[in-house]
Structure 1
Amino acid sequence: MRAWALFFTCLYFNIYGQRHTSTWYNIDNGLPQSSAKAIVKDKYGFIWISTENGLVRYDGSSFITFNSFKINNLHFGEFIGDPLLDSITALNNFQENKIIIKNRFPKVTNLHSSDKKDFVEGEMYVNRVANNIIACNFYNDINYFIQLKNSTYSFTAKNTIVYKDKNGKETKISLPFTNKDLNNIFVFNEVLFINNLKTRRTYSIDRGNLVVHEKESLFNDPNTKVYWQQITNQTFIINHNNIYLVEGKGREITLKFLVKYNEIGSHPYYSMFYDKDFNKLYLGTLNNGLNVLSLSDFYVARKEADFSNNVYYASLPFSKNTIIAEDGTEFGKHGVINKYPFGNNDNYLMMYDKSGNILIQKRSSIIRFYKNSGYKRKDSTFIKQGFEFFLKSGNLYGSSFSDFSKSQLHLSTKDIFSKPDFVYDFKSFVNTFAQYSKNQVLVGNSNGLYSITLGKETITPILQNIHVKSIIQTKDNLVWIMTNKNGFYLFRNRKLTKMPNDRNNYLQSAHYILEDRKGFYWISSNNGLFKVPKKQLLQYAEDQKKPVFYYRFTKKDGFLTNEFNGSSQPNAYILENGDFVFPSMDGFVFFNPDSIKTYYPDKSEIYIERVKIGNSEPQYFHHLLDLKKDYKTADIFIDIPYFSNLENLYIEAKVSGTENTEWEQITTGKELKYTISNLAPGEYKLSVRMLVSPDGKYEEKNMQFKIQPFFYQTLLFRVSVSIIILIIITIIVQLTTNFLRIKNKALKQIVHNKNSELKETALTLEVVKSDLQKETEYQKKLVETISHDITTPIRFIAMLSQKLYESDDVELQKKYFDSIYKSSEQLYQFTLNLKEYTELYKAENIFEEEEYPINRILEIKKKLFCEIAKERGTMIINMANIKVYSHVNESILMAIIHNILDNAVKNTFDGQITLNITENNQKSTITITDTGAGMSAEQIAIYMNLFKNPKLETPSFKGKGLGLHMVIHLVKKINAEINFRQNHPKGIVVEIMLNKN
């Protein structure tokens, strides 16, 4: 009783609640219908919502509606059952059907009479009470009961409550009570609590034992509303828009303040659920959908007056739990604490001097507010035109000056107003500096980072072409370089290392770093506040390989804006009470890092059991996903109950099996899914891993899936094709073998025949060889004859020339000249015949394409030898009156006639040479008759035998000339015939017969 009394009196203390952000969901953005009549969380971490159009499962990113049951009534009400036993049930209107939610999936199940919460007992209506809705109505003509695990409380008569234990034993409890007082009851940990708002008493009944609490409290306050839901064992107390959650053990209950929500009475709220794992309060309405309040331990302090400027850059810690801004406003985490008359100043630079006075820059002057006057008295000191900033780092006071073309940094060991001990000139504007050792100073400029040594004029560039915004030394003496749009760097051991960005590159414009007691850095930026383990950054600085996992806080976590502010001076602080303070574009953000939770998914709560194939509806699968051969794409959903900012969900997936992929980042959005496409048929394993702790630990989950092959991709098809190919190859080999056998047999016959032919050829070759030998002998003897015939005329000509040279007789010289001329002429004719013979002997074409008249050849040769014959007293007569045509090679025929006529002219003196041509159907005959010396019968026989029998050895040509021998060879060449006969009384007749065919 004393504990209760003490507790209830404390409830009236002024309590500052958590901040919150509100997100509404309705039919426009996830719900199938704008009612949320009951809310519960299952053992797997998913939120279930009962609506008038089915049941909805919520995982923090997407809503999945289940309303395709084979029932007609989809109007569902409250949940009953036990989530820890994986048994949540819901009845539809009029208790027609029962749905059980088990293993993350709802299905229709058998409805038993014991499941009904409304029934008739005798003549009375009986109603089971499983929740106490804010606007619930109870009637005195209905009997109500509360079913606990092993007992029952019945409200059957006025001023009487009946308790029945598990054995059926009844205990009647008398107290002033009517059914309308059921609006103020709740059950917590199997203990029934009844609040009497008139008498301001609270009754607790534990297993039939009544205890009366007579102290006034929020429980029995007339302005209190009670919401109780049995299935979640949660009771909410709502008083003056403050929402509390009942906690404790047994009868020893307390109230945990959740939030002050001024709109709690503005909507018809019908259900409530608090998710302590993610610090969210779910409020369900009858017609406006679901309202999710994200409770926050971040506090934003700002001026609430109209048209107030809440953009702050510089500030100073003022007390153990407050700060002061450049306009004199003192802020605590709950807002404005006090206002000092600082007036209007530049809001970028503030600093304490050695006496605790506050220095604030105003254009080219410094305003000093004296501590001993309560910061009411001030003075102003003009520094210098072009004065840009002042700053203290280590034991150095620094200020910068600029004339828009160059910049100077003044450093002093005394104070800002003293003459500088060191002056350094820079071509770019100086933004900040930091003393990191006794004589070493880092200077951040608009175009890079520089190092200077006190007492020396040397300025050493460390990093150029970046805009250094600030240089921060954390309490562990690490130096961090913050840049504008180039990320941030660690300067350690005179080595500069760029830190990795976050996934969205928001840390490209990081502002300030604070370190908490647990080894985490808090980094403000232009887009959110980041938390990261310090050891991850330092490990990355060692080898640039270890991953860094940033956790990002945004407006969803309680800020008014995601944009924080930076300055060349320190502008984020750790107050004496442990609170961190960061300036933003809309007020100062206060928080205690120990109370700010980071949310990571439970390592056991990752489920891969849904797939969407092509454009079809999502479907469930168990253990193995079997994809058909004609699938195009398959979206495998990754269900993770995660109710915080999805940007902090690190999840990756890869496929291994017939084909392999590398780890891929899963895009976080409305749905988490991994898309399969263009994979070859086969068996695969999908591996999904998610980050489950800030130290980089991953939890991995695997699932098997198989892609069915087309018929031509199956093993059976391949084996069948292989067998068919093997059979075809065997048949081809057999046919080839048979063919080769036949071919071999034929080749043997051919070889036999070829052997016979070769034998004949050998014999022929012997004949040819013999002929070639004779031809060679002929050529040899021909050359001998030519040499003999040429030598004699040349010797004769040489002899005559000698005599011509020695003689002085003119007549005799004339005679010698005539003999030389005739000998030369004879030699010329001889060489001419030799050339013509050589060319004709090599000729291959023995027939002309077009025929020509032989008469033309006779006439030409007659004219050629006519004068020579006259000198010998001989006449040449052409008796060919008819034209006879031939296809025989004209040159060969001309050579034959030339030589025969030449011989006739040489051997005929004072005689006659007759030329004639006759023809019949088979032959054309050329006749040359002379009355010269003629030929003996022996000579005629020799030449005829030479013509008719070419195997006869060619006799020596020496002394016999070349003409007839050449003629015989040419006649043979053109397949003609030649005949010699004597002409009576003297001379010779030569006949050449040309075949017309």
Structure 2
Amino acid sequence: MLGNTLGYIDPKGVYWECTERGITQSNELLGKLPKERSYFWNASNDQVFIISTVEIYQLEKSRSGSLKIQKLYHGSKLDPSNLSSFYYDEANSILFAGSATDGLGKFEVKRFKTYKPDVLLSTRSQVFYSVNELEPNTVLTAAGYLIKNGKMEKKYNFTRDRSKLIIDKEKNVWVTGYTSIFCFTSKSNYSEKIKVLHTDDDCSALFYDSNNDAFFAAVDDRYNSTSSLFIKTKEYGFKFEEIAKIPAKVNQIRSLNSESLLLCTASGLFKYFKATKKIVKFESTKNLAVRNAVIINENEIWFFSYGKGFRLLKDNKIFKFPLDDNQSLLTAHTVVPDKLGNFWIPTNKGLFRVKRIDLLNYANGHTKKVNYFLFKKDSGFYSNEFNGGGFPNSLITQDGNIWLPSLNGIVCFNPEQLQPKSYAENIYVEEAIVDDQTIDIRNNPMLPRNFERVVIKIVAPYYGIRENLVLEAKLFDGENSNWTRIDESGKIAYTKLAPGKHKLVVRKRIASENDYKYLTLDFCVKQAYYDTALFKVLMVLVVLSLLFGIYVVRIFYVNKRNELLELKIAEKTSKLQDIITTLRETTNRLNAQTTGNRKIIQYITHDLKSPLRFMAMLSRDLIEDPNKNQEQLSESFLAIYQSSNQMYGFVENLLDYSKLNLSQLEKRERTWVYDIVISKINLFRPIAMNQKTKIFNQIPSDFTINGNPVLLRIIVHNLLDNALKYSAGKTIIFSASEHETHKVIAVIDTGVGMNTETLEYYKSLSRDFNNRTDTVGTGLGLKIVIELMVVLGARIEFNSSSNGTVVSIVFDK
């Protein structure tokens, strides 16, 4: 029964249908059916199978009504009489066969096809190293085998060295012969053999740059320490010319761009510039023996180091990738990209598929894991060991098929027909063993307290290659947050779990390399009353209440004590601060008054020197000239009288000043400058007359300042005294001026003036008197004046030349 139609296949392979119109002959079956065959009809699934002793076919009708036959199995001998049921899982390409005596069998439909010689000419006939496309969808091997229209046959005899095969634009075939390179011309149907290069050493690499129609070859020395790089272009005909020396054995040559080549060597990757013949080494690869490289673009170069896996050169950085569980990727030969975004990686232990974007995400740090999918002999090829030492060691033909040479034939497959299979997605928890006691954790998820070890057994149906089954578990208990791989036994164990609830999550990789099916198992470890959350909450509340009560009592006691202490401290502090303030003010005032008294006494004592000196001078004149006339004697005695009277006045002023306190010293009042100047001129007039010095007071009589009269008298006295010393026979003038912000009293003499050093000294002293230490010594009069300027809050200015000196006292209004 096929569909809703009853059918019959006669011995000649003709299909007959029985319909309402009667019995009619239908299409003749495509292909030849085995002579000895039997039929099985799976009525529940509407599937018809044809069984022979070594093959199983499925017969089906397409939507258009035409018949289609598909071979599902070809292998060891079958006994059709012992097979009782069949079912074909088309989604996963799995044929199930049931037997009354042997149980259930599984046959996976092969999606890989392996080509190998029907007749083995030698023990190496089934070993292949390189493949290339001679015509569209026609594959040629270096051993001379041609694969076309699904058939493989020996066509050509090239060389015994079958590792390298190049086809140029004119369809000429170039192969290596260990120490030589040969060209087999297409025009001679590859019977003409031309030796184009012969050396004493092995030819380790051969490459054809189709963009420039140029050949490159590398010949290594017998010690594999250096290689010679050769080139052949149309200009050279069939001859190669040496162009460079490479400091390592060259394993493969690749075109990086139109201007440079990439050299895979035993000492890393090198870059060769065609125009300049310059060689640059990729220093980050210097410790790697690079066997092969695949260039996706100039910034994405995948390279392979035999026994050390594969790496990516990107942005001048090297990225190394994690291996599979069995570390089979250590012997990765190459990567073959397909149109679906996958990389196919042949190794010595099978063929891997991985998404290119997963590898790039790992390199960029976006993920910490890479999922690989493995294909082995069970998938349809005869050997798990692929060969990667030849060139080309992989091929993508125009129909999208990928070809890989192996130790036992050439494997061919179409990536689009190898989409991830949807194996059974279900995950089951079979049982749990707690300290050697088996429990049904699914229906009774309560585990006893204080157990030592629990083993949970997980069952996940899977019909594919065991290495592709990724079964992982994670226990969310706040301690273990990583996925743990479950081994083939399906068991995962935990020891001494804490009382309370736990969540076990198990995941199984399905279909795509990054798709998972999840199972969650919630279970609980029995708790004692003191392990329950309610008990813990109550205990926490009790402890918190006790602590809070103690805290409140303690705070109340501390606050009361602190209040009393604060009152006492505040009271004593207030008294102490008053005492300290009073003492500080008293000390400051006493210091200021003492300092002021000492200085003023110093100043007035200095004033006494002038009359004393004058009296001494007159006394000396009287002693030296006792015969003076009466008039001269009268003048001398008058001068002595005036000087004595002046000294009396100074002593009287000194006594009066000594009675002044600090507040009186700091007192400021309206002071008539004219009167003070007149009194001082009268005081010094005898001295001036004696040395023929003229003194003029040009200060207006109503000119006043806000100052201290006592201190102003001392200042005028000292300025006039100093002017008289250096103005004998000259003129001294007192003047005053008023400005918008200040008033000025000036003492002008026409004496000898100050020298530059003295002038600069007094200017510097007036600017920074308080910080100077050189204020004692000669010239005390002006220093006294400068110091009194500080007391009065005024400033003094000096101007001097050879024609005299001007001293200005400036008072702010």
The total of aligned residue pairs comes to: 532
Q: In the TM superposition, what is the alpha-carbon distance from 1:484 to its structure 2 partner?
A: 0.9
Aligned to 1:511, the other structure's residue is in SS state coil
Partner of 2:58: 245
Q: In the TM superposition, what is the alpha-carbon distance from 1:202 to its structure 2 partner?
A: 4.1
**1:47-69 CA-partner distances (Å, limit 9, x unpaired):** xxxxxxxxxxxxxxxxxxxxxxx
The 1-side partners of 2:41 and 2:536 are apart by: 67
Q: In the TM superposition, what is the alpha-carbon distance from 1:371 to its structure 2 partner?
A: 0.9
The question of 1:331 aligning with 2:147 is answered: yes
CA 1:243–1:251 in 2, change beyond 3 Å: closer, same or farther? farther
Aligned to 1:436, the other structure's residue is in SS state strand
The 8 Å contact of residues 690 and 699 in structure 1, kept in 2 or not, is answered as yes
2:179 to 348, 357, 364: 364
1:391 to 191, 196, 206: 206
CA 1:456–1:366 in 2, change beyond 3 Å: closer, same or farther? closer
Taking structure 1 as the reference length, the TM-score comes to 0.48
The 2-side partners of 1:202 and 1:248 are apart by: 13
Q: In the TM superposition, what is the alpha-carbon distance from 1:701 to its structure 2 partner?
A: 3.0
1:213 to 24, 32, 36: 24
CA 1:487–1:267 in 2, change beyond 3 Å: closer, same or farther? farther
Q: In the TM superposition, what is the alpha-carbon distance from 1:238 to its structure 2 partner?
A: 2.8
2:222 to 403, 409, 418: 403
CA 1:226–1:242 in 2, change beyond 3 Å: closer, same or farther? same
Partner of 1:270: 84
Partner of 1:432: 252
Partner of 1:589: 411
Partner of 2:287: 465
Q: In the TM superposition, what is the alpha-carbon distance from 1:677 to its structure 2 partner?
A: 2.7
CA 1:610–1:311 in 2, change beyond 3 Å: closer, same or farther? same
The 2-side partners of 1:355 and 1:251 are apart by: 45
Q: In the TM superposition, what is the alpha-carbon distance from 1:710 to its structure 2 partner?
A: 5.7
**1:261-295 CA-partner distances (Å, limit 9, x unpaired):** 35233772222222223211122223334432111
The question of 1:261 aligning with 2:82 is answered: no
Partner of 1:565: 387
Partner of 2:427: 606
Q: In the TM superposition, what is the alpha-carbon distance from 1:249 to its structure 2 partner?
A: 7.8
The 8 Å contact of residues 143 and 160 in structure 2, kept in 1 or not, is answered as yes
Partner of 2:526: 708
Q: In the TM superposition, what is the alpha-carbon distance from 1:722 to its structure 2 partner?
A: 11
**1:640-659 CA-partner distances (Å, limit 9, x unpaired):** 333222322333221113x4
Q: In the TM superposition, what is the alpha-carbon distance from 1:305 to its structure 2 partner?
A: 2.4
With 436-445 and 583-592 compared, the bigger mean Cα shift is at 436-445
Aligned to 1:594, the other structure's residue is in SS state helix
Partner of 1:322: 138
**1:175-232 CA-partner distances (Å, limit 9, x unpaired):** xxxxxxxxxxx4x55x362538599774556xxx575333475699985422123344
The 8 Å contact of residues 510 and 523 in structure 1, kept in 2 or not, is answered as yes
1:627 to 447, 465, 476: 447
Paired residue type of 2:495? S
Q: In the TM superposition, what is the alpha-carbon distance from 1:683 to its structure 2 partner?
A: 0.6
Paired residue type of 1:321? N
The 2-side partners of 1:668 and 1:212 are apart by: 58
Q: In the TM superposition, what is the alpha-carbon distance from 1:590 to its structure 2 partner?
A: 0.7
Aligned to 2:361, the other structure's residue is in SS state helix
Q: Percent same amino acid among aligned pairs?
A: 24
The 1-side partners of 2:180 and 2:376 are apart by: 37
Partner of 1:976: none
Paired residue type of 1:352? I
Aligned to 1:341, the other structure's residue is in SS state coil
Partner of 2:761: none
Partner of 2:649: none
Aligned to 1:433, the other structure's residue is in SS state strand
CA 1:633–1:297 in 2, change beyond 3 Å: closer, same or farther? same
The 1-side partners of 2:297 and 2:153 are apart by: 29
Aligned to 1:540, the other structure's residue is in SS state helix
Alignment of 1:62-141 (within 5 A): none
Paired residue type of 1:400? V
2:106 to 278, 292, 297: 292
Partner of 2:633: none
Alignment of 1:721-736 (within 5 A): none
Paired residue type of 1:235? V
Larger RCO (CA under 8 A, 6+ residues apart)? 1
Q: In the TM superposition, what is the alpha-carbon distance from 1:483 to its structure 2 partner?
A: 1.1
CA 1:712–1:304 in 2, change beyond 3 Å: closer, same or farther? farther
Aligned to 1:372, the other structure's residue is in SS state helix
CA 1:568–1:270 in 2, change beyond 3 Å: closer, same or farther? closer
Paired residue type of 1:465? N
Partner of 2:461: 641
Partner of 1:925: none
The 8 Å contact of residues 301 and 332 in structure 1, kept in 2 or not, is answered as no
Q: In the TM superposition, what is the alpha-carbon distance from 1:245 to its structure 2 partner?
A: 2.5
CA 1:201–1:229 in 2, change beyond 3 Å: closer, same or farther? closer
CA 1:644–1:410 in 2, change beyond 3 Å: closer, same or farther? same
Paired residue type of 1:682? G
**1:421-460 CA-partner distances (Å, limit 9, x unpaired):** 631240x322223231344333222132233444254543
The 1-side partners of 2:200 and 2:9 are apart by: 75
The 1-side partners of 2:510 and 2:175 are apart by: 46
Alignment of 1:298-317 (within 5 A): 298-306=112-120, 308-309=123-124, 310-317=126-133
**1:847-906 CA-partner distances (Å, limit 9, x unpaired):** xxxxxxxxxxxxxxxxxxxxxxxxxxxxxxxxxxxxxxxxxxxxxxxxxxxxxxxxxxxx
The question of 1:666 aligning with 2:502 is answered: no
Task: Find the structure with the greater CA-based Rg.
Answer: 1
The 2-side partners of 1:192 and 1:311 are apart by: 49
The 8 Å contact of residues 320 and 576 in structure 1, kept in 2 or not, is answered as yes
Partner of 2:305: 483
The 1-side partners of 2:393 and 2:224 are apart by: 28
**1:789-818 CA-partner distances (Å, limit 9, x unpaired):** xxxxxxxxxxxxxxxxxxxxxxxxxxxxxx
The question of 1:229 aligning with 2:47 is answered: no
Partner of 1:790: none
Paired residue type of 2:199? K
Paired residue type of 1:409? S
Paired residue type of 2:383? T
The 8 Å contact of residues 600 and 691 in structure 1, kept in 2 or not, is answered as no
The 2-side partners of 1:587 and 1:333 are apart by: 17
Paired residue type of 2:348? N
Aligned to 2:335, the other structure's residue is in SS state strand
1:532 to 354, 365, 369: 354
Taking structure 2 as the reference length, the TM-score comes to 0.59
CA 1:568–1:338 in 2, change beyond 3 Å: closer, same or farther? closer
The 8 Å contact of residues 450 and 463 in structure 1, kept in 2 or not, is answered as no
Alignment of 1:39-50 (within 5 A): none
Aligned to 2:175, the other structure's residue is in SS state strand
Paired residue type of 1:621? R
Paired residue type of 1:401? D
The 1-side partners of 2:497 and 2:141 are apart by: 61
The question of 1:501 aligning with 2:501 is answered: no
Q: In the TM superposition, what is the alpha-carbon distance from 1:248 to its structure 2 partner?
A: 4.5
Q: In the TM superposition, what is the alpha-carbon distance from 1:408 to its structure 2 partner?
A: 2.3
The 2-side partners of 1:432 and 1:221 are apart by: 49
Aligned to 2:194, the other structure's residue is in SS state strand
Q: In the TM superposition, what is the alpha-carbon distance from 1:376 to its structure 2 partner?
A: 1.8
Alignment of 1:789-938 (within 5 A): none
The 8 Å contact of residues 442 and 452 in structure 1, kept in 2 or not, is answered as yes
CA 1:226–1:612 in 2, change beyond 3 Å: closer, same or farther? farther
1:550 to 372, 392, 404: 372
CA 1:221–1:492 in 2, change beyond 3 Å: closer, same or farther? closer
Aligned to 2:374, the other structure's residue is in SS state strand
Aligned to 1:529, the other structure's residue is in SS state strand
The 2-side partners of 1:196 and 1:571 are apart by: 46
Partner of 2:261: 441
Paired residue type of 1:581? W
**1:300-355 CA-partner distances (Å, limit 9, x unpaired):** 1111325542111123223333322222122358552342233x421212212453
